[in-house]
Structure 1
C-alpha cells in the first residue's frame, strides 16, 4: 500500500521519486543474508559473488543544495523508528590543485590525515548517539593512537604509551572506584579491595595480548604491516604523531577508514548470541554533503572505495554524497547528462546495471567500483505542469521505513524468554535438588545421591549428612571426609603408596531409632584410616572410605548397588564393600546386587549361617549363628544350670528377619544336642505396644528354664519392660543374642530396668574402652572424642571393633597383593583373591582365621563372650565366659565348642 508522505519541503525535480525509492531500497536489510535485492517495480535480481551497497553520488546543481538535508529529514521520520544515519556538510576549502583536469587525485599527504580523521570522528559521534548504535571501539582506538605524542618519553616510549593506554582503558572503572572507595571501606575487607584494584590491570594486560577485540583486530587488519615489529606496543607506537611521519599516509588513511567500517561490520554481524544485530533492520546511511576535491570529500570516497576493494568485506552502510561534479574525477555533467552518469529518473535502472558489473569491477579493484553517480536535474518551475507531475509521483512514493525487529530478537521477548529460562532452570534445578537430596545437580556428589521417599540414599565421599538430625553421626561422617582428603594428600606426596577405596554399606537413616551402632562402625573404620595414614611403607595402603546409605533396614540396597556399579566402572581404586547391618532380607538382596557388579564384601556383624553361601565374593569377620547357638547351649548347660532343662526361644514374628529366624533354628538344634527341651514362641512387638510387652513378660514370669531372646535391641527394651512390671521377685533366667549389644551399650536404657538381670552373647568386648591402651580405642579417643564417655559404653557395643577388623582384613589383602611377585594389578579382583587366602589376623574382636581354605568365608573358632548385666552386686556388665582366641582375654572355657 502506498503511503502519501509529507514532502512539501522536499526538493522536487524530475526523478525525485526514483532517488527516494532507491534510498528506501538500499537501506532495507533482508531478514536473511545481506544487501538489498528488490526494486519498486518488483523486478528481482540476485547477485552472485560479493554483496555490497554502492556509494550513491548525487551530482546536483547549485539550486538543489538542500537535497541531502531533506533526505536527512526523511530518514529521521522513518517509521516505526528512524533509520540510523549521520550527515556531514563539507565547507569550502582553497584547493592546492585544480578542481578538474587531472583525472586522478594527488597521492595522499600527511596533511590529509587530520581532515579525514575529523570527519570520521564527527560521523562516529553522531551515530553513537543513537539508541543501540555501534560503539566504534576500533576506530576510537586508532584515532586515539594517532593523537598521541611521545616526544617527552625519550627513554621508554613504548612503556609510556602502554601506561596511557591502561589509563584510558581504566579511566571509567577508576572513576567508579574512587567514588565508591569511602563507602566500601567499612564493609569490604582490605584483601578484597586489593583484589578489586589488581584485577583491572591484569585484565588490560590480557586484552592487549589478544583477548580484547579491538586490540586483536588492530594486529590482524591489513594496513601498515601490523606485525612489524611484532608486538602491540611496537605497532601502536608507529601510529603516534612523532612516528607516523615515516609511514605511508595512504595506508594510514585506509587504516582509519577500515577501523570505522569494521565497527559497523561488527555491529551488524549476525550471531545467535547477539540478538542486537538482528534488531538492525535498516542499514546505516551516511550523508556527505558538498564533497569536492579541495575539501577532501573526494579523498574520503576514494578511501572507502579502496578499502572495500582491499578487504572484500560487506559494509552495512549506504554512503550518499552530494556534489556539483562527478566523483572521483571531478567530471562536469551537462544538463543533458553524459553516457557515464545516468539521470535521476533512471536511478533504479542505474543501480541494476551497477549490480551486474559490480562483482567484476570490485575484484579488479577499479577506482570506480563502488561509485553509483546519479545526476539530479534542475527542478522545474513551481507553476509548470512538469512540477505538478513530479510532485505527485513523489507523493506516491512509499515512505522510508524500517522493518520491525524479528520477534525473537525484541528486548521484551528476550526478557520474557530469559525469565522463562531462568524459571525453568530454577524449577529443574529445584527438581534435581529434590531428586538428589538437596544437592546442586552439577555438584560432584549429585550423581551418587538419590531421594527415595523420605530418605536420602546413595554414596558420599565428602561427609554428606544422610540424617542431619543425628549430629553425632554427621560429625563422624565429616571426620571420615577429612581423613579421605588426608589420604589423598598423602598419596599425592608419595605416589608409591597405593590409594584404595572401601564402601561402607549400612542403614544410615532411621525414622525413630538411634544410629549409634552404625556411627561406632564408621568410627572403627576411621581409626583404621588414621592408622594407615600414619604408616610410611610403600606397601602400606592409604584408605579412602565412601559412605553408602542403603536406607532404613537396607531397603534400598539394590538401587545403591546400581549406583556403585557405575562408580566402580569409572574408579578402579574401589576394591570392596564393608559394614552391612542386620541379617534381613533387604541385606541379602544388597549382597546379591553387589555380587553382580563384582565387588568383594567383608561384613562386620552379619552372622546368619547361609549368607556366605550366596556368593564367593562375600566374607565376614563375625562368627555364624551356628557357633553362637552352640556356645549359648553349652554355657546354659555348664554355667547357668537352670532348675529345669528347658529353654523358651522368643523370636519376632517377621519372616524377613533372617538373623532371628536362623538363630532360632540353630538354638533349637544346639539345645536339643545338650538335652534341653526347646520351646519356641513368636512375638509381635512394635514401639509403643506396652500392653503386649507386659503380656509377654507376664507369660515368662517364674519360668524355670532359660528364656532366650533372638530379637532386636528395640524389642528387647519392651520385653524387659514387661518382665519388670509383672515379674517382681520371680524374673526368669534371660539369655539374649548378640544384637542386644547396642542396647547394653546405652547407659540410660540399661539403667531403666536395673532390677532385671540378664546375660547376652557378644562378638567383641572392649574392656575398659577408651581408657585402655588398645590401638582401637586409644585412637578413637583422639579422632572422635565424643564417642568416649557420654551416654554410651562404646566398649560394650561390638560394632566398632568388628568394623575395624573388617577394614584390617582388606588392608592385609592389599599388602599381600603389593608383596606378590610380578606386576600384579591392584584392583578388586586381586584383592578378592588375597581375601580368599588370607592368613590368620589378630584383630580387636579376636583372631580371624579362615583356616587356609579357599572356600572358607567366615572365621573359624571366632571369639564370642557371654556378658552378665544387672547381676547381684554388679556396677558394670561383667564377662562371664569366653570362647575363641582374643588377645589379652582369659582363655576359652573348657566346654567351648570348636568349628
Structure 2
C-alpha cells in the first residue's frame, strides 16, 4: 500500500509533465494542424527518469495506445536492435485498441532482412548459432544458395533465387514474419480496406445503372465491379503486388542501386564491396530509420482507410535512460538527419508521427572517452542533433546576394516543416510546489472512425441499392430494355423472345400472341445464324391489352395479332426466296402499350437503338391515330428513319409543327379519313347500305382530346353527308356513350355512324339493341375490324342490327368478280395455314386475328423488304435507312404493284405521302359470321365512288 501511495504521489507531482506528454502524442483532428513532434528530454538522475518513463509507458498501455519502452538494460545492439524492439512492441495487441489493426512495418522488415543477409554474407560460411531461430537458419540457407548457385549461369541463378524469396516476402508484406499467420490472415487484413468501400461503390453504380439504363446493364456493372474488388483483394496476397510497395527503396539516397529495380537494389545491399566505404554501415542505419519512419507515416496517412483516421494517439518511443554509448543516442541523431533529408529533397511534406521521449542525466558526458573530462554534455549533443540551423545573418557580397532569396525561402520551408524548436527539456527534479490543474482529458476516437461503421455503411448502401434494384426488377419486365410501366404494362423492344403479356407475377395474360412471337423469334434466329446480310424493320404497335380489361374475350388484340401474323408471313416468304448472298429480313417488335400510351418513350428507345444498329432501315405500324402516336412519328423522323403507317388514317398524321407541312419520312398505307368518310357518306345517301337511302344520321365519336382519329373521322363524315343532317354525339366514357345512344334512339335516325373505338363498340351495340324501337342500321370504319374479327359469329348469330364497315383489306376483294383476269394476291392463300400455325388453339373461342390488319402488316413488311433488296443489289452494299427512304420517295415507279390491300404507290410529300388509287371497300357480316365485301374503286384502278344505280343491291353488299 505504501508503494502505491508513493506512485500516486509521484503522478500528482508530475501532473504538468503528463499534460505536456498528452499534448505531444495527441493527434490533431485536422490534417493541416499536423506537425513533427519535438524531442522530449526528461532531465534528472537515473532513478527519477526511470520512474517517469515507466509512468508514461503505463499511461499509454492503460489506454492501449502505441508505445515502445527501451529500458536502460535492454540488450539493443545498435540502431537495428532499437528498431527491432520498437517494431515488436508497437505491433503488440497492448498498443492498439480492441478491434483495430496493428501497426505494420513492411519496409522496415524488408530492410532488416536484407541487412541480416548482408551480415551473414560478410561472416563468410560460418554456420548459424545453435540457438538460432528458424528464420535465422532459413536466412543462412538462402545466403548459401545465392552465394554458391549451381554451375552454369551463376548471375541469373542468383537473381532468380533472390527474386523468388523477395516475392514470397512481398506476398506476406502485412504480417509479422516472426509469427507467420498465412495467406488467409493477410486476405482478411486487406478486406476491411477494400470490401466496404468497394462493395458500396459497386452497389451505388449498379443501382444508378438500373435506374438510368436497364437491369442487364446493372447486373453487368455489378459483376464487373465485384470482380474488380475480388481481384484487388486476391492480388494483394500475391508476391508481385507486395513487391510494388518496395519501390520506395529506389527513391532513397542512402544505398547505391543499379537500374534493374528493387531486385538490383536488394543485390546491392546483399553483395559487400571488396573495399567497404567507412560510412556504409551508417548509410544502412539511415535506410533502416527512413523505412521505420515511412512505415509509421503510412500507418497514419489520412486516406480511404478507416483505421488511419481512428488512430488518435501518435506512437511513442520512450528511452528510459540515455548514455553516451547507448544506441538510442545514435537513433535520435539519425531520425533527425532523415527528417532533414526528406525536407531538403523538395518532396511534399509527409510528417512522420513518431514521438521520442528520452531520460537523460544533465551531467552525463556526450562521449565515453574519459580523456575529455570537461567536454560537452549528452544533453548538448542531442540539442545539437535536433537544432534547426538558419542563416547567421552575415552580410553577403554583391555576387552572393543573388542567392539570398533562394536560401531564405529554403530556410522558411525548413522551419515550417521541422518547427522552430526541436527539443523540449523538463527537469523532473524541480518541484516549486503548489496545486496543478488536472491533466487535460484524453481525446477519444471519432465516432465516424468506429470499426463497425464502414460495414454498417456498406450494408446500408448495399441494402438501399438492392431496394432500388428490386424496385427496378418490378419496374422491368425483362433485364434488357423491357420496362414495366405504372399501369402494369410491359413496353420496349424485343426480337420475339419476350412475351409482353406477362404480369408482375410472371403469368402470361396475352398468350394469343405467343405463337406468332415465337415464329418471329425463330425467323430472326435463322437470319442471324445464317451469317447472311440482312435488313431490320421495327414494328411499333399496341402489343398488350389494356390492363383495365379483365375479360380476355374483349382484349381487342385481334388487330395487333393480325399485323404480327402479316409481318411473319412477309418475313418468311421473303427469306425463303433469298438465295446465296441475297438480303434477308429481320423483324423487331416494339410495344407502345394499349392505346399507344407509351409510344413516345418507346420511340426514343427505337431511335437510340437505330443509332447503334445500322441494319434498322424502317419502322412500321403506328396503327392508332392518337396524340402519342403523332409525337412518336415526329421523334422518329428526326432520325431520318422511313416510317410506314399501317392503319393510321387521321388526315393530319405526320404533320409537323408550324408551316413545315408533312414529315418527308412518313408513308401511309391506309386511306385518310376524309376519303373514307366521303365514300361512306356517298353510299349512305344513295342507298348502298341497308338497301335504303339515309336522310339523317347520328355520328358517335370519342371526345378524348388525345384521340385524333375519332373526332377527325366524325367531322369528315358530317362534312361529306347532307349539311345539317348528321347529329354529332361525342362521349368521354362508357356512361356518356350509353346515355347518348339512349337519347338518340328516342328519335331514331336512319343510320348510326360509329366513329368511336373498338374498345367501346360492345357497349354501343348492347345499348343500341335494347333502346332502339326499330332495327338499327350501323356503319363504321376499319377501327371496329378488331372487334368484328373476334366476335363475327356472335354478330351473325344475333342479327339484331345491320352492320356495314369499311375495312382496309378483305379477302373477297381478290376474287374473280372484282379483279377479273388479274393475278390474285398470294398472301391470302398463305394466310389460313399461317393462322393455324401461329394462333393459340387453347384460347377463348371466337378469337381470331384480323385479316384486314394482317394484310396491311404484310404489305408494310414486304414493301420495306422489297425496297431494301433493290437498294442492296443496286448499290452492292447493305442498305441504310437513308437509301431505303430515297427509294420509297422515288415518284417514277410503283413501289409494290400487287399488295394484299391493293396497289401501293405513294403521292408527294405535300399530301403526306398518301397511297394512291387505294380502294375503299364496304363489308358486312352474314348470319353465319362470314364477312362479305364489295368495293368502291376496284383494287388497282382509279375511280370515284360508284353510284348505286350502276350495280344491284346485292353488289352493294359485295360478293357472297
The equivalent residue for 1:181 is none
Q: Flag the 1:92–1:451 CA change in 2: closer, same or farther, 3 A.
A: closer
- Mapped to 1, the partners of 2:449 and 2:632 lie a distance apart of 55
Q: Flag the 1:680–1:11 CA change in 2: closer, same or farther, 3 A.
A: closer
- Mapped to 1, the partners of 2:262 and 2:760 lie a distance apart of 82
Of the three residues 844, 859, 863, the one matched with 2:915 is 859
Q: Flag the 1:355–1:60 CA change in 2: closer, same or farther, 3 A.
A: farther
1:77-476 paired onto structure 2 within 5 Å: 83-91=65-73, 116-125=83-92, 128-131=95-98, 132=100, 134-136=102-104, 138-139=106-107, 142=110, 147=135, 148-149=138-139, 151=142, 157=161, 158-159=163-164, 162=167, 170-172=183-185, 204-205=234-235, 208=238, 215=245, 222=252, 230=260, 254=286, 256-271=288-303, 273-274=304-305, 276-290=307-321, 296-298=327-329, 300-312=331-343, 313-322=350-359, 338=376, 341=379, 379=429, 389-392=431-434, 396=436, 399=439, 401-404=441-444, 429=468, 438=475, 454=487, 468=503, 471=508, 473=510
Deviation string for 1:49-96 (max 9, x for gaps)? Answer: xx533444556533333231122234456xxx665423232536599x
Contact 1:265 1:314 in 2 (8 A): yes
The equivalent residue for 1:547 is 590
Q: Flag the 1:475–1:653 CA change in 2: closer, same or farther, 3 A.
A: closer
Question: Tell me, what secondary structure is at the counterpart of 1:468?
Answer: coil
Contact 2:311 2:445 in 1 (8 A): yes
Q: Flag the 1:35–1:398 CA change in 2: closer, same or farther, 3 A.
A: farther
Contact 2:61 2:94 in 1 (8 A): no
Contact 1:866 1:881 in 2 (8 A): yes
Question: Tell me, what secondary structure is at the counterpart of 2:699?
Answer: strand
The equivalent residue for 2:198 is none
Q: CA RMSD in A?
A: 6.4
Contact 1:576 1:599 in 2 (8 A): yes
Q: Flag the 1:203–1:744 CA change in 2: closer, same or farther, 3 A.
A: same
Question: Tell me, what secondary structure is at the counterpart of 2:318?
Answer: strand
The equivalent residue for 1:510 is 546
Contact 2:604 2:635 in 1 (8 A): yes
Post-superposition offset of 1:605:
0.4
Q: Flag the 1:57–1:483 CA change in 2: closer, same or farther, 3 A.
A: farther
Post-superposition offset of 1:763:
1.6
- Mapped to 1, the partners of 2:12 and 2:373 lie a distance apart of 16
Q: 5+ residue gaps in structure 2?
A: 117-134, 151-159, 173-180, 190-225, 344-349, 393-408, 550-554, 656-660, 815-825
Deviation string for 1:852-886 (max 9, x for gaps)? Answer: 75656122233555444342xx3644556696549
Post-superposition offset of 1:343:
12
Contact 1:600 1:832 in 2 (8 A): yes
- Mapped to 2, the partners of 1:812 and 1:222 lie a distance apart of 75
Of the three residues 860, 869, 885, the one matched with 2:925 is 869
- Mapped to 2, the partners of 1:659 and 1:375 lie a distance apart of 97
Contact 2:315 2:355 in 1 (8 A): yes
Post-superposition offset of 1:316:
0.5
Of the three residues 889, 897, 906, the one matched with 1:836 is 889
The equivalent residue for 1:850 is 905
Post-superposition offset of 1:651:
2.5
Of the three residues 774, 777, 796, the one matched with 2:850 is 796
Question: Tell me, what secondary structure is at the counterpart of 1:288?
Answer: strand
Post-superposition offset of 1:841:
1.6
Contact 1:850 1:860 in 2 (8 A): yes
Question: Tell me, what secondary structure is at the counterpart of 1:304?
Answer: helix
Q: Flag the 1:316–1:122 CA change in 2: closer, same or farther, 3 A.
A: same
Contact 2:699 2:729 in 1 (8 A): yes
Of the three residues 20, 23, 26, the one matched with 2:24 is 26
The equivalent residue for 1:616 is 663
Contact 1:685 1:715 in 2 (8 A): no
The equivalent residue for 2:808 is 763
- Mapped to 2, the partners of 1:199 and 1:437 lie a distance apart of 28
Post-superposition offset of 1:397:
6.6
Q: Flag the 1:745–1:129 CA change in 2: closer, same or farther, 3 A.
A: same
- Mapped to 1, the partners of 2:530 and 2:353 lie a distance apart of 61
The equivalent residue for 1:44 is none
What TM-score do you get using the length of structure 1 for normalisation? 0.67
The equivalent residue for 1:69 is 54
Question: Tell me, what secondary structure is at the counterpart of 1:72?
Answer: helix
The equivalent residue for 2:780 is 736
Question: Tell me, what secondary structure is at the counterpart of 1:396?
Answer: coil
Q: Flag the 1:467–1:31 CA change in 2: closer, same or farther, 3 A.
A: same
The equivalent residue for 1:382 is none
Would you say 1:645 and 2:612 are equivalent positions?
Answer: no
- Mapped to 1, the partners of 2:513 and 2:284 lie a distance apart of 72
- Mapped to 2, the partners of 1:335 and 1:22 lie a distance apart of 34
Contact 2:603 2:636 in 1 (8 A): yes
Q: Flag the 1:786–1:165 CA change in 2: closer, same or farther, 3 A.
A: farther
Q: Flag the 1:119–1:629 CA change in 2: closer, same or farther, 3 A.
A: closer
- Mapped to 2, the partners of 1:374 and 1:685 lie a distance apart of 92
Post-superposition offset of 1:268:
1.9
- Mapped to 2, the partners of 1:316 and 1:486 lie a distance apart of 72
Structure with bigger helix share is 2
Post-superposition offset of 1:294:
6.2
Q: Flag the 1:301–1:533 CA change in 2: closer, same or farther, 3 A.
A: farther
Deviation string for 1:626-663 (max 9, x for gaps)? Answer: 55456657878999675533366442144555544554
The equivalent residue for 1:606 is 648
Post-superposition offset of 1:684:
5.0
The equivalent residue for 2:193 is none
Post-superposition offset of 1:736:
3.5
What TM-score do you get using the length of structure 2 for normalisation? 0.63
Post-superposition offset of 1:620:
0.7
Q: Flag the 1:699–1:817 CA change in 2: closer, same or farther, 3 A.
A: farther
Question: Tell me, what secondary structure is at the counterpart of 1:651?
Answer: strand
Contact 1:720 1:753 in 2 (8 A): no
Contact 1:52 1:315 in 2 (8 A): yes
Q: 5+ residue gaps in structure 1?
A: 37-50, 96-107, 177-195, 380-386
Q: Flag the 1:606–1:467 CA change in 2: closer, same or farther, 3 A.
A: farther
Question: Tell me, what secondary structure is at the counterpart of 1:262?
Answer: helix
Question: Tell me, what secondary structure is at the counterpart of 2:644?
Answer: strand
Of the three residues 750, 756, 770, the one matched with 1:711 is 756
- Mapped to 2, the partners of 1:483 and 1:218 lie a distance apart of 63
Which range moves more in the overlay, 576-585 or 246-255?
Answer: 246-255
